[in-house]
Amino acid sequence: MKSVVVTRPGVIVLEDRAQPVPGPGEVRIRVEQAGICGSDVHIAHGSNPFAHYPRVIGHEFFGRVDAAGDGVSLPLGVRVVVDPVVSCGHCYPCSVGRANVCANLQVIGVHRDGGFSEFCCVPAGNAHRLPDSIGDEQATLIEPFSVAANITDHTGVFAADVALVYGAGPIGLTIVQVLKSVYGVRWLIVTDRIDQRLAAARANGADLTLNTGRESLADALAAGGSAPTLVIDAACHPAILGEAIEIASPAARIGIMGFSGAPSSVIQQKITSKELSIHSSRLNSQKFAKVIDWVAAGRLHPEWLISHRFPLADFASAFDVFEHNQTECCKVLLSF
């Protein structure tokens, strides 16, 4: 079988490998489509601290059950999408419903081989069967929407919210859709420094967009007369938290998802005086079923995010477009 492998930081190749054999409790997926994520690029560059090499990358993927190990009831041939979060089920985080920060966490495509391969073995419990109403390309992008579902579950969302999303990249746009199409927030503001991404934010439901490379967010909020009651940082820059605390309404909620090791400068008094709630979010904790229901009901449109499609053989071009064409690129799919 063909697999996209990062053999060491800076070296990514299409490699011939033997087909894996599913163990007890596992299924083998014949992968049909996969999406490229920024974390895949980080692994390729050696900037993901959790990855070990060599590694078959890819954690956004869809396919069909091709083989099953002992104790598995999923029938062969069914369409499934894979939750990449593999947890132990026994530690404290798992016991309180936070499997995404399991003490023994493994992420498919990071800690163990992933879906940029013609075949991939995963725990059967991580393979979610799909209704016929969800198309193949929609299915491939369930995972990034599960990230949006996780952060919004943490912060809570109210119809009366004035919401601000920093960043209109792929994850920012999933959050935009969830906030507007699922929860129907009253007013949704999105910032970025790339006009094409801001246009995509408007197409996905944003009410107001601001290019903060040339427009003042503070001035725009002052002119609008409403401070954000919900702020989500999907740009993941360490400087954003301080600004979010400054501009947020009293009693607001702030959601952060960044993994930067750089410090963020915050003033405790400004948090406590407004009694702000700050929530962090990593990956997703059992949000796939919820997102599948949203997509099946037509409340989300993952296909709106797809900008490019490549066959597996052209994976190098796909990665180049994803990494270097930020003005036109959103989600890039690999087909198998």
Per-residue b/e over 111-132, b at no fewer than 16 CB within 10 Å? bbbbbbbbbbbbbbebbbebee
> What is the per-residue pLDDT for 225?
87
Confidence of residue 304 (pLDDT cuts 50, 70, 90): very high
Confidence of residue 224 (pLDDT cuts 50, 70, 90): confident
Domain boundaries, the chain: 2-129+301-335, 147-280
> What is the per-residue pLDDT for 219?
93
Is residue 293 scored above 90 in pLDDT? yes
3-state class (DSSP) for residue 77: coil
> What is the per-residue pLDDT for 116?
98
Condensed to tens digits (0 to 9), the pLDDT of residues 246-271 reads 999 999 999 999 988 899 999 999 99
Structure tokens at 34: 């996969």
Condensed to tens digits (0 to 9), the pLDDT of residues 307-321 reads 999 999 999 999 999
Condensed to tens digits (0 to 9), the pLDDT of residues 61-94 reads 999 999 999 999 999 999 999 999 999 999 999 9
The CATH architecture one would assign to domain 2-129+301-335 is: Alpha-Beta Complex (3.90)
Dihedral angle, C-alpha 164, 168, 173, 177, nearest 10 °: 30
> What is the per-residue pLDDT for 114?
98
Condensed to tens digits (0 to 9), the pLDDT of residues 141-167 reads 999 999 999 999 999 999 999 999 999
Three-point CA angle 194, 261, 53, nearest 5°: 95
> What is the per-residue pLDDT for 78?
98
> What is the per-residue pLDDT for 243?
97
> Would 2-129+301-335 and 147-280 be classified into the same CATH topology?
no
**What secondary structure does DSSP assign to 188-208, as a single string?**
EEEEES-HHHHHHHHHTT-SE
C-alpha distances out from residue 50 to 270, 282, 319, Å: 34, 13, 20
Burial (CB count within 10 angstroms: exposed 0-12, middle 13-18, buried 19+), residue 304? middle
Is residue 291 scored above 90 in pLDDT? yes
Distance, CA of 295 to CA of 135 (rounded, Å): 10
CATH 3.40.50.720 fits 147-280, yes or no: yes
Confidence of residue 9 (pLDDT cuts 50, 70, 90): very high
Give the pTM: 0.97
Is residue 278 scored above 90 in pLDDT? yes
What does the mean pLDDT of the chain come to?
97
Burial (CB count within 10 angstroms: exposed 0-12, middle 13-18, buried 19+), residue 179? buried
Which residue intervals of the chain are DSSP H helices? Answer: 38-45, 92-95, 136-140, 142-155, 170-177, 195-203, 217-224, 240-247, 268-273, 288-296, 315-324
Condensed to tens digits (0 to 9), the pLDDT of residues 19-58 reads 999 999 999 999 999 999 999 999 999 999 999 999 999 9
